[in-house]
Amino acid sequence: MLVVATVVGRALDLRAFGVFGLLSSLAGYLLVIQNAAAAAVVRELAVVDADGAGGDRGARRSIVATSALALYVAAALAAAALVAAAGWAIAAALRLPPGLERQAELGAVALAVAVALGWPLTLLRDVVRARGRFLLLAGCELAGLAAYGALVCALAAAGAPLWAVVGANGTLPLAVGLAAAASRPLRGWARLRPAFLRIDTARRLATGGAQLSAAEITSAVVYTADRALLGALASPRAVGLFEGPLRAHNVLRALGAAFVTTVLPAAARLRAAGDSAALRELAVRGMRYALLSTAPLAAAGAVSARPLLELWLGARYGGGAPALAVLLSYWLVYAAGMVGAALLVASGGATRVLRAALATVAANLVLAAGLAPSAGATGVAVAIALPAAVQGVWLARAGLQAVGGLPRRFTRAVVAPGWVAAAVAAAGAFGAQRTLAGGGPLALAAAAAAVVAGWLVAFVAVLDHSERQLLRALWRRA
């Protein structure tokens, strides 16, 4: 994703890059919504797979998979229509020159086609995930990302029309789905047949998926509405300036989501098996490792925001440094909240996740409308970060409670390791900026080394003996 943003950002001017970011975000956040809806399918398949040794288990898997595919096809057609309509509305709202507006309209149509083709295929990826084959899942994701990135970068570097670049940016689900299809995950495990379609199963999946999708729709609303507010209340150039910080911030979102990918099916299986002790340990360790992975990166990135943006996208993007620092700040707590949300979903608490998301989006829109005219991209970043930080803490504590954990363990067992590593990383990055005259590749390399130092300090001083043994074993295996 960073490579795509780098190539496209350097190939387009600020105004065109802002249009690209705004329109392609429709497909990007639809992908997040799609993954959220898939959580209901993954949970159901994982529970069926762990629910005893009944002889009809294959038939039950087939019922869930077939019903899910029917829902995915219907959702893909509806989403494609919405993407096209929203893209045309956004293009009109930005007051673009006629030629650029036409490119934006065509790009929205191209995105809609990509969405319609890609969504149904991702069922195969969901089956791989539900079966717990996480290394195969990672391989499918990497293959899909490589194909998608090569396509978008080739079009941008060759000077293709903006609409083609925007449309290609929506092909990631299609690429990952095709990669998963090559592994034939349904062979010997489940079958897709019209006879296995069940209305009650489809209704149950639709209800759970709708709740989770609605929770993730709030993220799409936040980012799309905030960009639109910047374009309307500031300028299209401000949208382009905000795009770099938002793309960098999304790296942490993707890293946090990787923990959700494994925690959700594992928690569903443990809950179905009645293993409460293991479920509580999964909750604490999942949150601790998610925060330990993201917090040092967030701290070092915030301190090094300006040289990072200037080296990555060019000097003209350096004005987005305050926005990037603010956006990264809430990741000092938020990754634990993502794991907490997965635990709530595995425990049947999707409604609570939705309520927290709705409260967050309401707070964001109020703050963004007030801050965007005067503070531009930085104001919008504040409007995202403050509600998200509160949401992250609440989700983490609620997730612990849902599995019978003790919320008082949150600070000592979850937060402390990540914050120790973050403090070391921030101090090292700050020292590098001061020592090396404020930036450049060498300073960024020193900041990266500071992140590694933070992890090493946490490994030695915070993690217990069993965790150190686990990490050593993983390192040797890698």
Total count of domains within the chain? 2
- Rounded-to-integer distance, Cα 294 and Cα 254, Å: 10
CB 170 within 8 A of CB 114: yes
Which has the minimum average pLDDT: 74-78, 200-204, 221-225?
221-225
CA angle 12, 17, 20 (to 5 degrees): 120
Tell me the pTM. 0.75
Residues 140-178: pLDDT tens digits? 999 999 999 999 999 998 988 888 988 898 899 999 999
pLDDT at 334 over 90: yes
The answer to the question of residue 185 being in a domain is: yes
The answer to the question of residue 456 being in a domain is: no
The answer to the question of residue 473 being in a domain is: no
The answer to the question of residue 120 being in a domain is: yes
**Between 144 and 55, residue with greater pLDDT:** 144
Note whether 398 and 254 are same-domain residues.
yes
The answer to the question of residue 452 being in a domain is: no
Q: Extract the tokens encoding 19.
A: 């249009």
pLDDT at 55 over 70: no
Model confidence at 200, in pLDDT bands (50, 70, 90)?
confident
Note whether 278 and 186 are same-domain residues.
no
Torsion region of 406: left, alpha or beta (phi above 0 gives left; psi -120 to 50 gives alpha): beta
Residues 57-69: pLDDT tens digits? 788 888 989 999 9
- Rounded-to-integer distance, Cα 379 and Cα 367, Å: 8
State the DSSP code for 159. T
pLDDT at 317 over 90: no
pLDDT for res 426: 92
pLDDT for res 442: 82
The answer to the question of residue 276 being in a domain is: yes
Note whether 193 and 247 are same-domain residues.
no
How large a percentage of the chain has pLDDT more than 90?
A: 23
Q: Which domain holds residue 230?
A: 214-413
- Give the pLDDT mean for 424-428: 92
Residues 432-452: pLDDT tens digits? 888 876 567 887 888 889 999
The answer to the question of residue 88 being in a domain is: yes
pLDDT at 54 over 60: no
Model confidence at 386, in pLDDT bands (50, 70, 90)?
very high
- Rounded-to-integer distance, Cα 328 and Cα 252, Å: 8
For the chain, give the mean pLDDT. Answer: 85
pLDDT for res 365: 87
pLDDT for res 417: 85
